[in-house]
Amino acid sequence: MEVNSNTPIWLDPLHPNFLRWEKSRKLSLERGRFVRSIIEQKNKIENFLIIDLGSGEGGTTRVLAEDNFVVSVDLSLIRLQRQNNSDIKFSKINGDVTNLPVRDKFADLIIVQDVIEHLNNIHSFYEEIKRVLKPDGIVYLSTPNKLSFINLISDPHFGLPFISILKRRTIKKYFLKYFRKNDFYRNDIAQLLSLKELIELFAKDFCFELNTKLAVEELFDGNKGIVWSDIHLKFISFCKITRIDTIIKKIANNKSGIVNKFITPTFYFVFTRKSS
């Protein structure tokens, strides 16, 4: 939601989250390359029809549009206008991700990068994903982990403890109403999901792969497109200094067990549609 017709809240230098959002914008290309590296572990992305949902600054759209055709979708017209990718082939749609103006079975690949936690109707979104995805299509999805102890200490959206486990209604009623009044009327306040909730949502129609191990390796190798909040960056630095990063790399895995349920701060999924 925008503060007024001219200044979106995420571009307001006075907002407490401004620096966090600014870092994210500057790293959009690095994030796009990271997304591509995850998907291309098993799926070469070339000559695909791709939908980038909630495309933001357009970094991922730009990376993927180098050798594919990408439809960049965002609810914010201002965000789409800021995507000045005149040297690549892509299309823009200003609209709702639960009601896409594209034909059935259109996309080979759908990108859902840090979007699902902001949606009010996840099940309508899921049905739309199934409608526009080809029978052998792929979905890349990243989202913060509701139950990660790291996010319990510092929520990825507000940088505060315990916000990650609260429902959107509770966050608005007991936090935004008193401490972030400018955000109170936003409809996209994040409500995080657990590993169990995400698997249950996709289980009927998709096979899934987590990519925690690759993300951890990239994180400690200096990939800037994975985290950008100050507290998380300090934690990474601390782990390197104390050599805890060696232990974390060893325990990191792609299984749906304790590590990914309660430690992994962000999920990086690749969902592949099941055969009929």
Return the number of other C-beta atoms located less than 10 Å from residue 100's C-beta. Answer: 21
Q: Side by side, which strands form the sheet with 49-53?
A: 90-94, 69-74, 49-53, 107-113, 133-144, 266-273, 206-210
Which pLDDT value is given to residue 204?
A: 96
pLDDT in tens, 151-164: 999 998 888 899 99
Which pLDDT value is given to residue 99?
A: 94
Which pLDDT value is given to residue 219?
A: 93
Cβ-based neighbours of 261, under 8 Å, separated by 6 or more: 145, 147, 194, 195, 196
pLDDT in tens, 172-231: 999 999 988 888 888 899 999 999 999 999 999 999 999 999 999 999 998 888 877 777
Which pLDDT value is given to residue 105?
A: 96
pTM over 0.85: yes
Asked if residues 8 and 78 have their Cβ atoms less than 8 Å apart, the reply is yes
Which pLDDT value is given to residue 182?
A: 82
The C-alpha atoms of residue 145 and residue 55 are separated, in whole angstroms, by: 20
The C-alpha atoms of residue 76 and residue 47 are separated, in whole angstroms, by: 27
Which pLDDT value is given to residue 232?
A: 78
* Positions in the chain short of pLDDT 70: 1-7, 10, 21, 85-86, 276
